[in-house]
Structure 1
Amino acid sequence: MKEELLNQLNEVYSEASEAEKKTIEELINAILRKQKNENSSYLSEILQAKGRFIDNHYEITIPNSEIIQNSLNIVHGGITATLIDSAMGGLVFELLPEHQAAVTTELKVNYLAPGIGSSLTCIATLINKGTNLIVTEGKVYRDDGKLMAHATGSFYIIKRKK
């Protein structure tokens, strides 16, 4: 299995364009970063997501690379939705006590402009925190400052599994 995989990787890499070689390197680096960081997911490492909680909001920035683009060379809508869900989920995680977690129950996204530029940033803010449900808002901005997407999301609060 290992030898076959290495042969396939060598074959793909030897026939790859420079852009494809860069993509292969980005994917391998994402796996290496995941192996070194227990709290991250493969997806967040592939997206190269950088998140932080500041001033009662959660912000995640990702670079716009070929990995996340569709056939029109703009960011795939599913990646935009993932960025939004991750930022709003990060906010919810920060607001809950350790014994609680939350899962997305609804996500409504309005796409307002194409995903172009070198990076995208989603800023998530709280709309309402109840005993069972948290409602949030997310706004995605391109690096030129243009609002690219707007979303609302609902998260159901659950007990955290140990």
Structure 2
Amino acid sequence: MVGKFEPEASEVRIPITPVIHNTIKVPHGGIIATIADAAMGGLASRSVPEGYNVVTTNMNVSYIATTTNKELIARGRFVHKGRQTLVMECDIEDETGRRLAIATGSFFVIQRRL
């Protein structure tokens, strides 16, 4: 998995290989949820002040389609940036632009533990 993080948006990519397939030989929904959480949470954690981090408090994934192509791409963005909570959205596509899922997530700001 590789990620690119800008101040207001993120992108996380993972190659589609048999190791992430489910029993019908397409990417497992749990993998799609994982890269969505990585895209949203990675962006959220980079937006909080030094000495703080975030934890996921809620995440919803709506699965739309599946793919047999080569790559999963999750693109995260902010919906709300508060002092204690962040709300995010994420689109998950394959490399052809086919939308596979959409996700939303809520993140709580915590003080970083040493």
Q: How does 1:1-162 map to 2 (within 5 A)?
A: 49-54=1-6, 56-162=8-114
The residue type paired with residue 60 of structure 2 is: K
Shift of the 155–55 alpha-carbon distance from structure 1 to 2, 3 Å rule, reads: closer
The residue type paired with residue 65 of structure 1 is: T
* Partner residue in 2 for 1:5: none
Q: Give distance in 1, aligned partners of 2:46 and 2:71.
A: 24
Shift of the 87–99 alpha-carbon distance from structure 1 to 2, 3 Å rule, reads: same
| RMSD after superposition | 1.0
Q: Which stretch shifts more, 60-69 or 108-117?
A: 108-117
Segments of 5+ residues of structure 2 without an aligned counterpart are none
SS at 2:42's partner residue? Answer: helix
Higher share of residues assigned helix: 1
Q: Give distance in 1, aligned partners of 2:67 and 2:49.
A: 35
Normalising by structure 2, we get a TM-score of 0.96
Between the two structures, name the one with larger relative contact order (CA 8 Å, sep ≥ 6).
2
The residue type paired with residue 61 of structure 1 is: R
The residue type paired with residue 52 of structure 2 is: Q
Deviation string for 1:63-103 (max 9, x for gaps)? 00111000100000011000100110110011111211110
Matched positions, count: 114
Normalising by structure 1, we get a TM-score of 0.68
Deviation at 1:115, TM superposition (A): 3.5
Bigger-Rg structure (1/2): 1
